[in-house]
Every structure is written in C-alpha cells, then in structure tokens.
Amino acid sequence: MDGVHTLNSAAFVRLELDSASKSPTISAMNVLVTGGAGFIGSHVCEQLLLEGHRVTALDNFDPYYPPERKRRNIETALQSRNYRLVEGDYGDRLAVSKLLQADRFDAVLHLAAQAGVRLSIRDPLKYERVNVGSLVALLEALREFGPQRIVAASTSSVYGNTTPVPFREDAPCLQPLSPYAATKRAAEIFLGTYAQLHGFKVIILRPFTVYGPRQRPDMAIASFARKILLNEPLTLYGDGSSARDYTFVSDIVAGMLAAVFKFPVEFGVYNLGGNTPVSLKELVAALERAIGKKARVAAAPMQAGDVERTCADISKARQDLGYVPAVGLTEGLEKTINWVKGELRHEGHAA
C-alpha cells in the first residue's frame, strides 16, 4: 500500500503528500511519532488524524510481541491520506536524518522503546542499546535537521520503591529497580542534556500503568482478562497488596497531545496517571465482576524488578497541561475486556 515506506540508510523513499491530503485547519501540525504502531502510539496517531494533523509513524515492528498485532493496530490510520507509516529503526541516525530532510516536521512525539521489566533483567545490554544509544542517535539527527521540539515518553518505573507516595516529578529517582527503568531514567537525563546544550524544547511524560484496547499481551489487565475468559490460571506475584495507578489509554493520549500542542515550558517533566491506585487483589476482583466469571489464581513470590506501589501526583500536569483523567476503572475494564474478546474471536476462540 502506498502509505508504507521502508526506512534504511541505503535507500529512502521521499514522502510526498499530495495537496488533497493537507488539512484545511490553519493550526494543523506535521508530527513524527516514533513507535507509532504500538499500543499507545497507534492511539495517538489516530487522535492526531481525527484532529486534522499530518502524521508520520516510525516503527521497526520489533518482535517483542507478534508484529501482526501492531499491523492490526494501524489498519484504521492507514486509510487516511494524512498518515504515512515508515518502517525502520529510530536509532538509525543516517536514515532518520534523511527522513527529517525529506519532510518538515513541527514536533516529534517519541514513544518508541524496548519495554518490559522482566526481560530487561535477562537482557540489559539490549535495553541500554535501544533505550539509550538509539535515543542519542535520534537526538543527533534532530540536532542537525530538526525539529528540536520533542515530547518523550518515559515511565513511572523510574521512581522505584524509595520515592514517597504520591510520586512527584521533582523526586531524585536515584534507585530504579530494573534495567528497563534505569535506561528510561538515563534517557530522561540525555534529553535534559540536549535541552541545555542545543536549545531543544523538551517535555518528558511519565505514564502510569497504561491499559486499554491494543495493550501489550504481557501486561496485567489484558493478560488477566484473557486468562479468565479462557478459564486459564493466572499468576499473582506477592500477596496481592502491590498497587498500581492504572490509567486508561485515552487519558494518556489526551495528556500527550496537550503536551505537544501547549508546550508550556522549555523543559519539563510531567506525570500522567489515573490518580487512583488499585491493589492487585482489587484488580482481579474488578475483572471478575466485569467478566462475570471467577479467576483461577496461582500464587507466586514477588518478582525482582517489580515496584510495590505506584501513585501519581498529577497536580503539575493538571495545572500546565489541563490534564484530567476521565475514564474510571470500571469503564476502562469494560472497554478493554470487549477488545480482548474481539482478539480471541480473531484467533478462533469462542469468547
């Protein structure tokens, strides 16, 4: 399909948007979204398109989970003339430089990363290479060819277990519990360095346990819902008291786009959370109620790298970005479960 291009340093197809694809909206922007085919990225791209903006999604379809799931994520976006998918690695500096020269972007929304706490413990070198080394390559390309306006996704995992609850953005974040969290904190520091040295405008966002349709299959809510529906046992790590500030994906998208459009500061860090921590036991009970079926539960010790509790102080995001989470857990679980049922039907299950 003509909306898909391959990004590499040997050959690059210039992106040409015909006049019919340009939004008539005066304030329309042209945004580069890294990780644009992923869980959050695909939702962000769709919302940008709905608001009349031009979007280039850059994604390498890493096999961390089945790439065909990501391709289903972008089926709607690919129908828009304002959307282009570029398949490639954001850490390929030469290829990204060519992309930046071929099209004038107003901002970069950097969502691409190697995600997953447990895998990072098994393969920390890959996480350092992707989340830190590739970011520096991207920043170098942006330093030369712009734009130097970046909104970047970090993670609530940077707070570790030593930060007082609720987590504030000015916490030192000195003891992340996993290589994943450590690399994301390092990425934040590099972004701050480039803002200081090269005049980048940078906003760093720390999302808190995002869930909803298209959620990665290794994340708790999608995984638990699937197992309950299929009558498979699910494993609870620890005594069930660990808690997460679950945040529905549409709220995260709203916060991210507010950062892109408002850009209230030259450099800033903002939490994007649901503002209501839920324990693991409470989450399973809520899923059971929503599905109408009891879970088969197996207990296991708390895993290395997992934090005990996350809780976002969102007062700064509320003040500067107008961020107000609107989707509560009951509504969010219902939407997520409906999506999981659709995925199961796609796979041939009677859900």
180 part of the active site: yes
* Cβ contact 312:167 at 8 Å: yes
Which residue is associated with the tokens 């330093």? 143
Say how far apart CA 166 and CA 70 lie, in whole Å.
33
* Cβ contact 228:350 at 8 Å: no
Say how far apart CA 203 and CA 201 lie, in whole Å.
7
Say how far apart CA 76 and CA 138 lie, in whole Å.
27
Counting Cα atoms < 13 Å in the Cβ hemisphere of 292 gives 3
Q: Write the CA distances from 344 to 121, 122, 231, 341, integer angstroms.
A: 30, 30, 13, 5
CA nearest to 141, candidates 115, 110, 113, 111: 110
Longest alpha-carbon distance in the chain: 59
* Cβ contact 244:236 at 8 Å: no
* Cβ contact 311:272 at 8 Å: no
Tell me the sheet residues that pair with 167: 312
CA nearest to 103, candidates 8, 35, 28, 30: 30
**What DSSP letter does each residue of 284-302 carry, written as one string?**
HHHHHHHHTS---EEEEPP
Q: Catalytic one among 127, 180, 246, 270?
A: 180
Q: Which amino acid is at 115?
A: A
* Cβ contact 252:259 at 8 Å: no
* Cβ contact 190:135 at 8 Å: yes
Please give the positions annotated as active site.
180
